[in-house]
Structure 1
């Protein structure tokens, strides 16, 4: 992972996890539901297209969720696809998530 993607910020005001690269953001909107974190939408500004920023923000967000003992609800299609490609992350998905068996 590129060094500029290493630092992720939890922006509680905007309710998103974000990586800032030279003033441009890759981020994931989230909602907290008890001990679960629902990831809703992933986006990278056009200036970050093709840089791996979106993937980096997903990886760092999943690591944050695991490190804080939370369970994941991967509603965002990008996050869902990422977990299907990297099934080791299924370990943090809430087993009651309606599409759990599709991961």
Structure 2
């Protein structure tokens, strides 16, 4: 796993995870900026990571990042919406 990062120039959060074959693959979330809110437009895991839990680990890192940076998250992507609903412990970062 690589460190979670905010690629501001691309308005994308991303993190790398090792797949079952030992290859580094990426999970990312594209976002729009609305002040201190990040509107999560799309979350995607490399197909080789699907079913591995990588997307959930990524969302956890994203929520922790938002909390540390005092950002709000407004999920529009169905995966991000569902993840936030399943994790009320991060209601404080929801917009």
TM-score in same-fold range (> 0.5): yes
Partner of 1:10: 6
Task: Tell whether the 8 Å contact from 1:18 to 1:25 is kept in structure 2 after alignment.
Answer: yes
Partner of 1:30: 31
Query: Where in structure 1 do 4 or more consecutive aligned residues deviate above 4 Å?
Result: none
Aligned alpha-carbon RMSD (Å): 1.4
Taking structure 1 as the reference length, the TM-score comes to 0.78
CA distance in 1, matches of 2:36, 2:15: 23
Which structure has more strand as a fraction of its residues?
2
Provide structure 1 residue ranges, at least 5 long, that are not aligned to the other structure: 95-103
